[in-house]
Amino acid sequence: MAPAIGNSAVSSNRASAPDQVSSPPDQPLVVIEPSRYWVPLDLRGLWAYRELLYFLTWRDVKVRYKQTLLGAAWAIIQPLLTMIICSLLFARMPGIKSEDMPYPIFAYAGLLPWTFFANAVTASGNSLVGSSSLITKIYFPRIIIPSAAVAAGLVDFALSFLVLIPLMFYYRVQLTPNLLFLPLMIMLVTGLALAIGMWMSALNVKYRDIRYALPFVIQLWFFASPIIYSASVLRGKLKIVLMLNPLTGIIENFRSALVGREMKWTSLAFSAAMTLALLVWSAYAFRRMEKTFADLV
Amino acid sequence: MKPVIKVKGVGKQYRIGGPQLPYQTLRENLSNTLRAPLKKFRRNGQGTFWALRDIDFEVQAGEVVGIIGRNGAGKSTLLKILSRITEPTTGRVELYGRVGSLLEVGTGFHPELTGRENIFLNGAILGMKRSEIERKFDEIVAFAEVDKFIDTPVKRYSSGMFLRLAFAVAAHLDPEILVVDEVLAVGDAGFQRKCLDQMKEVSQHGRTVLFVSHNMPAISRLCPRTVLLNEGTMLEDGPSNQVISSYLQSGLGTTAERKWSDMRKAPGNHIARLVAVRVRTEENETSEAIDIRRPVGIEMEFQVLEPGHVLVPNHKFVNEEGVTIFCATDLDSAWRNRPRPAGRYTSTAWIPGNFLAEGSIIVEAALSTFDPEMIHFDERDAVAFQVVDSRDGDSARGDYAGPMPGVVRPVLDWTTDFAPNEQGDSWPVQ
């Protein structure tokens, strides 16, 4: 045929041929059916997509501080400034106890896990709505989206940790074996952020009220957690609220592990149990709501 | 041969208002629950519709199946169910292989990331392993022809470069089952052809492809078998040429005709308003499919509300690649430079046969006054039709069946002078 209309111009850099496919298996690989009320978690399917979790986290981290002047310094500025302001305001105020440690250390050790928690829950809670183009066009386990938002927060968390080191030197804080509990505390706060963030993100798809309610709830949560004050200052009903807050045990023990004070086992056990329960419950709730995401988002 | 896709009795029900009102607020939901606490248990009543109903078919390994139907026929819903994006309300689908779906190219691309970074990100989103992406990286870059810009953020890419890169990643996905929606409606003609070739290549290696498109020439070239959907049900399933021609003849694609029944909402102003636009054949039938050899008439009906203006109907013809083929203004001497009295007018423009090339033609319909210059209405995608070549040998194709570029395809007068070789010819062949 005439070269003018043949394919010769195209074939030069065509992609190489994919490998020949083997014959299909006897059992279906995937069965698609309307699901029942309780959907299994499908952890195996999640494992198969672990690289996607990595790439989405990496994207979030990479993109977060693009076109900002200060870049990743923002991760440090936020808790550092809050700590300085709180130190100026509260350090000498009667009634604010910092459990016989220097107030800046006390506050920063509380603000670290809190800032991570608050940012992770916010990012995660808005993550599904912000990924509508992905959700309506491509299949993958949806849980990866809020999880990646939490995981990306861990990078900022690690950065803000760097400030703590000179601070601890300056105030001559002794390191103790309690430090070994720190990874457990980080796991717990990550787990709790994931539980809340995942649940909020799914609700946000259906009820956009979440977007407006979430910042407010987080603000209240800040005051209901022993971050800038010590749990020991509260009495009565307020104390009960504080104790029911799963963050209380995590923040108190995070601080104890870091500064080498006595671990508070009761509150730790309560927080750990609560975090685990919330995580399981929230994962099932997410799976149940997941099937309507593409239709609603 | 074994089936790799089994679809049994699949249906998808939506609540009316669901797709249009994409989300509810908590307050609405609470107040609805208070007002009608039992409503939750009577879901199957009014206020719902079936986007898909009782779909049954099987696809064998290595088959390439086209899915056609007009907008809203349920094609996209079917693809979304097969690619596990949304769940069916009834029925069951069994898939005997990994599914890769391409419902839109460039999903998940991030404008701030470089081409290189986006290849990895997009590959992972499409379900490729990192090692797999690394192995194919060079091929992807070469296919997309973006080597020089691979470390530039994609927000600085031209739209063509962006689409080439996006398709290149997707084209290198090799699942056993590939589900593709209309991605070929992008890019320039050369790149489209390359995409089609790549898809053909994929299917020749035993992979199963489901391909949704409005591009009938592409469907007929790629897919031996086609499924026709209409209003959520399967109307036909068979050899592509049969299904396509019955689809085009059935007038299911109403894009060949548009009417504005409510005069207040019709395009136009206080002087004139558009009533209807139609694509018709010489037999005066409204048709979406036009034989490449036959003339086609574009009929524009409009109401003149205010008398005394010189009005000129005019059209623009654009092909599926967005190329303007030509424009035309009404030259009918009866109304040329004559102010029109109020009333209903129907202007028809005839495009000769053997003029347009195969493919979709989108018609823009406008009504203008040139002095002083004024546009009364200008309806971009007013109607559309397909130019189809039945390949009987008497079109401009002759006996050639392959792809033929170009926006017009006239039948030319060819002449040949011939002088037979004779002994003692002055041009000896040794």
Neighboring chain A residues of B14 at a CB cutoff of 8 Å: 295
- Range picked from A65-74, B185-194, B295-304 for highest mean pLDDT: B295-304
Which of A20, A27, A206 comes nearest B206 by C-beta?
A20
What range does the domain containing A228 cover?
A: 42-286
Flag whether pLDDT at A2 surpasses 80: no
Q: How confident is the model at residue B6 (pLDDT cuts 50, 70, 90)?
A: very high
Q: A136 lies in a domain?
A: yes
**E strand or H helix at B130:** helix B130-144
Which of A31, A34, A138 comes nearest B101 by C-beta?
A138
How close, in Å, is residue A202 to chain B by CA atoms?
Answer: 12
Flag whether pLDDT at B39 surpasses 60: no
How do beta strands B90-95 and B312-319 pair?
unpaired
**Does the distance separating the beta carbons of B26 and A137 come in below 8 Å?**
no
Q: How many residues does chain A have?
A: 297
- Give the residue with greater pLDDT, A137 vs B135: B135
Start-to-end CA distance of chain A, whole Å, equals 51
Size of interface A-B (CB pairs under 8 A): 187
Which of A18, A24, A27 comes nearest B61 by C-beta?
A24
- Per the CB < 8 A criterion, the answer to whether B2 and A24 are in contact is yes
Q: Residue B84: which region, alpha, beta or left (left: phi > 0; alpha: psi -120 to 50)?
A: left
Neighboring chain A residues of B107 at a CB cutoff of 8 Å: 133-134, 137-138
Neighboring chain A residues of B27 at a CB cutoff of 8 Å: 209
- pLDDT tens for B308-319 read 999 999 999 987
**Does the distance separating the beta carbons of B205 and A17 come in below 8 Å?**
yes
Helix, strand or coil, per DSSP, at residue B87: coil
- Range picked from A28-32, A159-163, B304-308, B317-321 for highest mean pLDDT: B304-308
B377 alpha-carbon distance from chain centroid: 25
pLDDT of residue A5: 40
A1 alpha-carbon distance from chain centroid: 62
Distances in Å between the Cα of A280 and the Cα atoms of A110, A217, B135, B285, B386 are 26, 22, 38, 63, 55
- Per the CB < 8 A criterion, the answer to whether B180 and B211 are in contact is yes
Which of B18, B25, B171 comes nearest A208 by C-beta?
B25
Neighboring chain A residues of B29 at a CB cutoff of 8 Å: 207
Neighboring chain A residues of B58 at a CB cutoff of 8 Å: none
- pLDDT tens for B393-405 read 888 988 887 778 8
The token pair at B286 is 């409204």
Neighboring chain B residues of A51 at a CB cutoff of 8 Å: 124, 129-130
**Does the distance separating the beta carbons of B197 and A1 come in below 8 Å?**
no
Flag whether pLDDT at B383 surpasses 80: yes
Which of B2, B23, B193 comes nearest A23 by C-beta?
B2
pTM tops 0.95, yes or no:
no
Neighboring chain B residues of A139 at a CB cutoff of 8 Å: 83-85, 99, 101
What is the rounded CA–CA span in Å between residue B404 and residue B383?
25
Domain B3-250, what fold? Answer: Rossmann fold (3.40.50)
Closest chain A CA to residue B207: A21
Query: Average model confidence (pLDDT) for chain B?
Result: 83
Q: Please state which of the ranges B96-100, B199-203, B252-256, B320-324 shows the lowest mean pLDDT.
A: B252-256
Q: How confident is the model at residue B254 (pLDDT cuts 50, 70, 90)?
A: very low
The token pair at B404 is 């033929």
Which of A11, A134, A139 comes nearest B108 by C-beta?
A134
Q: A7 lies in a domain?
A: no
How close, in Å, is residue B361 to chain A by CA atoms?
Answer: 21
Number of domains in chain A: 1
**Mean pLDDT calculated for residue range A192-209:** 94
Closest CA to B225 of B85, B385, B65: B65
- Range picked from A116-120, A177-181, B389-393 for highest mean pLDDT: A116-120
pLDDT of residue B192: 66
Across-strand partners of A207? B24
- pLDDT tens for A224-245 read 999 988 888 888 888 888 889 9
**Mean pLDDT calculated for residue range A190-202:** 96
Closest chain B CA to residue A22: B206
CATH architecture, domain B254-388:
Distorted Sandwich (2.70)
What is the rounded CA–CA span in Å between residue A181 and residue B17?
52
Q: What are the boundaries of each domain within chain B?
A: 3-250, 254-388
Flag whether pLDDT at A214 surpasses 50: yes
What is the rounded CA–CA span in Å between residue B108 and residue A266?
45
A284 alpha-carbon distance from chain centroid: 18
What is the rounded CA–CA span in Å between residue A255 and residue A228?
12
Q: A202 lies in a domain?
A: yes
- Per the CB < 8 A criterion, the answer to whether B227 and B65 are in contact is yes
**Does the distance separating the beta carbons of B22 and A297 come in below 8 Å?**
yes
pLDDT of residue B19: 39
Give the ipTM: 0.81
Q: Please state which of the ranges B107-111, B155-159, B307-311, B316-320 shows the lowest mean pLDDT.
A: B316-320
**Mean pLDDT calculated for residue range B357-381:** 87
> CB B373: neighbour CB atoms within 10 A?
7
pLDDT of residue A152: 94
What is the rounded CA–CA span in Å between residue B354 and residue B391?
13
Exposure string over B291-310, b if 16+ CB within 10 A, otherwise e: bbbeebebbbbbbbeeeeee
Flag whether pLDDT at B220 surpasses 70: yes
Q: How confident is the model at residue B322 (pLDDT cuts 50, 70, 90)?
A: low
Flag whether pLDDT at B17 surpasses 60: no
- Give the residue with greater pLDDT, B256 vs A56: A56
What is the rounded CA–CA span in Å between residue B81 and residue A136?
11
pLDDT of residue A89: 86
- pLDDT tens for A138-189 read 888 999 999 999 999 999 999 998 888 888 889 888 888 989 999 999 999 9
Q: How confident is the model at residue B204 (pLDDT cuts 50, 70, 90)?
A: confident
